[in-house]
Amino acid sequence: MSDKVIVVTGAFGALGRAVAQRAADRGYAVAMLDYAAAPAELAGAKLVYGGVDLTKPDQTTAVMQQVRDNAGRIDALLNIAGGFTFRTLSEGDGAAWDAMYAINLKTAVNASRAALPHLIETGGAIVNVGAAGALKAGAGMGAYAAAKSGVHKLTESLADEMKGRVRVNAVLPSIIDTPQNRKDMPDADHAAWVRAEELADVMLFLASAEASAVTGALVPVVGRV
């Protein structure tokens, strides 16, 4: 087991997998958490936890304690769990707003709260995923942007609250180059997008001792747009 343990939420998605692989390549032990069931190739692995509903505080606290018990420590939490929907206000009944709040902001709040006692022990770090698109929201982006704006403010507030004990930063990506995004936007300039591995590298830098003087930062990662 590595001396350093990173927890990745949303770990079975495109970005989560990229972050987990990059972290493992750097010698970290990686605890992978996701709402989905563990893929066959990961099922049964020591620090893989599928079926975890991070919108439930008790379940989130329990799984973080399991990670701490199984790995011996937690040095960083990378809050990747989230999702996107495009919906104008006139098209919906409010369900999209509830969903975006739950999967983007509430998961980050619950995971951060549950991990904090363990991160305080190690002088660790939290890295959240905000969104460049939340800085100025276009039509149909309101629910998503509002939730991600909440992630930005959670980052700033918690960084101030935990100053000197746990560092808290966020990355603000533009469109991430994933298979789903390529499918949804086949005519876009994919070469201009942020590659998942590039975003992973920035997140791991912010989680590392090399960023020991950085907290409360909202770091744009916008590729080549």
Which domains does the chain carry? Answer: 5-221 (3.40.50.720)
Give me the sheet containing 29-33, strands edge to edge: 48-49, 29-33, 5-9, 76-79, 125-129, 167-173, 218-221
pLDDT > 80? residue 97: yes
**Cβ contact 32:49 at 8 Å:** yes
**Cβ contact 224:191 at 8 Å:** yes
**pLDDT classification of 2: cutoffs 50, 70, 90:** low
**pLDDT classification of 220: cutoffs 50, 70, 90:** very high
pLDDT > 60? residue 153: yes
How many of the other CB atoms lie within 10 Å of CB of 223?
Answer: 20
**pLDDT classification of 176: cutoffs 50, 70, 90:** confident
Q: How far apart are CA 131 and CA 102, in angstroms?
A: 16
pLDDT > 60? residue 224: yes
**Cβ contact 112:158 at 8 Å:** yes
**pLDDT classification of 61: cutoffs 50, 70, 90:** very high
pLDDT > 80? residue 65: yes
Q: DSSP labels for 210-224?
A: GGTT--S-EEEE-TT
Q: What is the mean pLDDT of residues 50-68?
A: 98
pLDDT on residue 91: 86
For the record, the structure tokens of 52 come out as 């975890």
pLDDT on residue 47: 97
pLDDT > 60? residue 1: no
pLDDT on residue 93: 83
Q: What is the mean pLDDT of residues 160-166?
A: 98
**pLDDT classification of 44: cutoffs 50, 70, 90:** confident
The counts of H helices and E strands in the chain are 7, 9
| Catalytic site positions | 144
Q: What is the mean pLDDT of residues 37-65?
A: 95
